[in-house]
Amino acid sequence: MKKAAVLGASGGMGYHLVMELAANGIEVTAFARNSEKLKRMFGDLPGITAVSGDALHEKEVLKACSGADYIFHTVSVPYPDWEEGHPAIMRNALKAAKAESARLIIIDNIYAYGKSEGKKVKETKQKNPHTKKGKIRLALEETVKNSGTPYLFLHFPDYYGPNAENTLLHQTLKPAAEGKRPIFIGDMDMQREFIYTPDGAKAAVTLALKEDAYGQNWNIPGNGTISGNDIMVLLKEAGCAKPAMKIGKRMIWLMGLWDANMKEMREMMYLYENPVILSGEKVEEFAGNLPAVSYKEGIVHTLNGLKQQQRS
């Protein structure tokens, strides 16, 4: 039986990667820091072993990845810790992949692409990041590509979905599920792209299990685009009628005076003024039409999950 390790298994994408791998008959080690959260998520599910540890600690990563054929790196760190945290975690993931002769699958964002040029971004677009965080992501990519390790780089738009807590739309959906006023960051008329985490996990596992997918970058788009106003309509249809509290660039700038995360978020506000939209042409030609629920279905399912969490 093939074996996989998922680093960052308690995150929004990590959780669904674990479940999707297990559904494909692959033995999975789910690795994350919070042992109680891992236990709540995976309990005694067959084929899944929960291991708590810190991805910044080399020995703990090597132990978690022992025997793995595939290593999925989906660990995220707070914005203020990117400069030191991400390179250290990538070094540990690469060491584990080399020790096990494993394939490394990196769950990445769109920051390295830089500013949008007004059309859907293909994998062939030259990466020219203008932000500190975009440059960090590009440097990590170059490190992996020069390592000799079989790799996949999977670029995703912003997430939403069950367990996807450290995301922008979570700030909208969680208050709505609690009957509170939702928060929306950016222009509510702007069309933006999000991916439902179970869809993203299915795409990632599909590519990871294809030998000829390796050594490449892949864009995994959402199911079209949606505006903040459209999201509010869907929330109203789902029984969440309170109007959104809109947060723009000025508010982010002011919040950054006393909040380190908001300060780091300032440079990313270009994504809310000129969004990067991914082209899925390459992955569709290679793997066919991958699963993609509608925004309506995904948002309703996420709201129901959040309400269930409140009751439990």
pLDDT (tens digit, 9 = 90+) per residue, 176-200?
A: 999 999 989 888 999 999 999 999 9
pLDDT (tens digit, 9 = 90+) per residue, 89-135?
A: 999 999 999 999 999 999 999 999 999 887 899 999 999 999 999 99
Question: What pLDDT, on the 0 to 100 scale, is given for residue 250?
Answer: 82
Q: What is the mean pLDDT of residues 69-90?
A: 95
Distance, CA of 292 to CA of 305 (rounded, Å): 18
Q: What does the buried/exposed string (b/e) look like for 99-119 if buried means 16 or more CB atoms within 10 Å of the residue's CB?
A: ebebbbbbbbbbbbbbebeee
**Total-model pTM:** 0.95
Question: What pLDDT, on the 0 to 100 scale, is given for residue 312?
Answer: 62
Q: Hey, what CATH topology would domain 3-164+195-222+277-292 get?
A: Rossmann fold (3.40.50)
Res. 144: pLDDT tops 90: yes
Distance, CA of 109 to CA of 295 (rounded, Å): 20
271 closest CA partner among 77, 125, 115: 115
Quickly count: other Cβ atoms within 10 Å of residue 212's Cβ: 8
Res. 51: pLDDT tops 90: yes
Boundaries of every domain in the chain: 3-164+195-222+277-292
| Pairing mode, strands 3-7 and 27-32 | parallel
